Amino acid sequence: SQQGEEDPQALSIQEGENATMNCSYKTSINNLQWYRQNSGRGLVHLILIRSNEREKHSGRLRVTLDTSKKSSSLLITASRAADTASYFCATGPAGGTSYGKLTFGQGTILTVHP
């Protein structure tokens, strides 16, 4: 079963608005990562937040992590039509140094209308 569950499943907004996506997970993690995937393409790594971090910024992206609630959120500010894509959270397991064995959430399909 999927570790991560994301909501909303789909989000439709106008250009310039902010987009917030949420991710919940069930087990202990070493880190949580967010990826973007354009239709039929590979994954683009957006940001990684470690379990001992609470918030991280990268450009127009802001990620928060609440390990007590086992949840994370991705905020994209001032969205652009080019941000239209599917967004996935992925968790790396606790108890090891490898980031590799990721468990992906179901994803949020973001559509930004120009």
Partner 1 sequence: GAVVSQHPSWVICKSGTSVKIECRSLDFQATTMFWYRQFPKQSLMLMATSNEGSKATYEQGVEKDKFLINHASLTLSTLTVTSAHPEDSSFYICSAEGIGGGREQYFGPGTRLTVT
Interacting residues with partner 1 (CB under 8 A): 2, 35, 40-45, 48, 88, 90, 97-107
Judged by beta carbon, residue 17 or residue 41, the one nearer partner 1 is 41
Give dist(CA 94, CA 16) in Å, integer: 37
Judged by beta carbon, residue 77 or residue 109, the one nearer partner 1 is 109
Least separation in angstroms between residue 70's CB and partner 1 is: 18
The amino acid at 113: H
Judged by beta carbon, residue 9 or residue 28, the one nearer partner 1 is 9
Least separation in angstroms between residue 107's CB and partner 1 is: 5
Residues 6+ apart with CB under 8 A from 32: 23, 25, 48, 49, 51, 63, 65, 72, 89, 90, 91, 92
Least separation in angstroms between residue 18's CB and partner 1 is: 24
Least separation in angstroms between residue 78's CB and partner 1 is: 25
Radius of gyration of the chain (CA): 13
Judged by beta carbon, residue 21 or residue 88, the one nearer partner 1 is 88
**Phi, psi of 76, rounded to the nearest 5 degrees:** -110, 120
